[in-house]
Amino acid sequence: MADECIEFRKIEDRCRELKEWINHKAPQCATEQKHLEDGSDERGYWAHGYMSALADVIRLFSRQVSNPQYEEGESSTSRYAA
């Protein structure tokens, strides 16, 4: 379970870092919302970034499901959320 908490903290930390970067380097993103414009380059970049993030989460969960580390006395059907 400790590994899952560490991985979750890594995701939270990265989210915090990205929020700070956006606030300093691209604050207009919050107001312009160009990623919502159909056919815009910004929408393509947003979709690509979101797809990459989902793929990272899938890899994270797949790694934990394929190589679970159970605590003593825990059943093999138990899974922890990250």
Q: State pLDDT tens for residues 10-40.
A: 889 999 999 999 999 999 998 999 999 999 9
Confidence of residue 60 (pLDDT cuts 50, 70, 90): confident
State yes or no: pLDDT of 63 exceeds 90: no
Q: Determine the pLDDT at residue 66.
A: 67
The predicted model gives 41-61 an average pLDDT of: 93
Report CA-CA distances (Å) from 65 to 12, 17, 36, 51: 21, 27, 35, 21
Rounded CA separation 18/72 (Å): 38
Which residue has better confidence, 9 or 17? 17
Q: Determine the pLDDT at residue 80.
A: 40
State yes or no: pLDDT of 69 exceeds 80: no
> Per-domain residue ranges for the chain?
2-66
